[in-house]
Structure 1
């Protein structure tokens, strides 16, 4: 039946789902083992939410389930495209995906550690940066004592690699 013949109050709202972290078209969805596990746990949580959704209003129930289904669809696409990078196989003396890098940034006196991870794992509060970020891109292939320079506006910010580890 055409939507034109449905009462206005019976029409369901299409849930708006926030997009996942940006992964440019054609970019490989690299993840660490932990990153894939996080995605799978997120899927399990959404599935449990879907099963436990029990609203008295039938329309609100459908909208809630449609929202969860939309999130699951985006998540399943991300999981199916995930390519796990084995950190054991990464070169120990070079910055690559998954590396935890100890950096001296600019004129700072104390180093700061960052890990290069997949886009879904990236979280600056946890010092995890996406492999697609400008900082990660300038650090890839660097070795201990190398200095990478990132131009931010008219200013150059330097990053000296003090340590590299994988865990």
Structure 2
């Protein structure tokens, strides 16, 4: 067995599938059957355990646009840190590359700041648009309520028109 074993969570996994119960056999395809404990070789069969169990997420995952912005920001920040380190080492070594690296590090710092602000703005826009705020007076809830009421009225008007059409036009005030 590996060292990456974890305790089993009784809830469902992050993917929505129920987590495997403790003690469920997991076949290791690269280990011969005799070593896995699948066959009785005179001794007691070994109970194989899963190497890991998916733990349910404590918080909801980030929405896709926010996650995309966050990944982009992390990549830009990583490149910026590498550039800053190279600029520092070039400066200490006294090479001609030091000045261009310092200039590119400054520009990269501006871009990294923009990327972090982009994550924040994207998150705020997503929250505002899709109404994550769970207050009863949430603007998003009021907008959804109004939309539902409008749709109800439209469906009611369509049903009324369909009913009039099925009657053959009776009930119309004018015949044109």
TM-score for the superposition, normalised by structure 2 = 0.24
Structure with greater helix percent: 2
TM-score (norm 1): 0.25
Query: Greater RCO between the two (CA within 8 Å, min separation 6)?
Result: 1
More strand by share: 1
